[in-house]
Amino acid sequence: MQEKKIPVIIDTDPGVDDAIAIMIAASSGKLDIKGITPVDGNVKYYHTFPNALRLVEFLKLDCPVAKGAETQLEKPCPTTASCHGKTGLGSVELPEPTTPYHEKRAWDFIYDTARDCGGELEIIAIGPLTNIAKLVLEHPDAKDYVKRIICMGGSTEEGNMTPYAEFNFWVDPAAAKVVFESGIPIVLAGLNVTLKTGISFRFIDQLCERAGASPYAKALKEFVSSYSDTHDNKEGEHASVVHDATAVMYAVDPEGCTTERCHIEIKVDEEQYGRSYPTYDDPSSYNTTVITDLDMRRYEQLYLNMMDYFNSFGE
């Protein structure tokens, strides 16, 4: 008997690591992708919106793209393309999209889809949480229909924009605060774990050589080579940190992740702006499952499965 797929919406600001995360989600065989909802973030919305359409067409996804928020909830934030290239997809140039956007805005589309899924819909949120905050604010009963949110953002340790704050939450901390106070169950893939997940350039090279002339192998290699967020991994190898893929890893293989429960408070004061502050002293207040580590062999297997899946398109 075939395992029932998990209905998900991917909320994203594509973004090189977003693109790779979506490739992994599409190829996992475990997710029923109901839609993509782009948001302003890694680059401005006039890049992230068409990038989402381009990726849907390139990856042959059968799902709508619903436009999200063009600015942050309260305080507009300038974004930088330094890690992702001028348009967000590094040096990868995908054809202009021909598919139209969905008629509804992201927050209404998510709400309607969640209702249609009978409370089983999960949101994989790999950008700033503006769209999800608008969902909560405009549809107060959304918590009754969204099963959980798996988000890449924040950190229980250090940040990357300030000593405290990670980029996705720093861009729109007001939105993150709304979401973490919404009552919807949350799984957090923060910098505390994503920085442990460097995928080595050696592995990517071997993966792409195995795939030969596939356009998907070419795109993956260009995504990684043009993405500047690199660190040495656990084995001391030069590696690319595909932050957003950690959230997808949990969605498709939670047994490969180590977690702990805590309460996350989103700070919006000037000194700690965008900080996701964890406390562990009151279990009755816990609102978040935090990913603290993952099995890198199982994580690499997702990349192997991904390339095999997309290579099958040419067979």
- Residues annotated catalytic, as ranges: 243
Residues contacting residue 227 through CB under 8 Å, at least 6 positions apart: 16, 17, 83, 84, 90, 240
Contact (Cβ atoms closer than 8 angstroms) between residue 36 and residue 27: no
Rounded distance, CA 104 to CA 113, Å? 11
Give every strand in the sheet of 230-232, ordered side by side.
199-200, 238-240, 230-232
Q: Strand 288-294 relative to strand 186-189: parallel, antiparallel, unpaired?
A: parallel
> Could you tell me where the DSSP H helices lie in 182-294?
191-194, 201-211, 215-225, 245-252
Angle at 187 between CA 275 and CA 259, to 5 degrees: 100
Rounded distance, CA 123 to CA 35, Å? 10
Contact (Cβ atoms closer than 8 angstroms) between residue 85 and residue 19: no
Rounded distance, CA 65 to CA 276, Å? 29
Angle at 49 between CA 44 and CA 55, to 5 degrees: 120
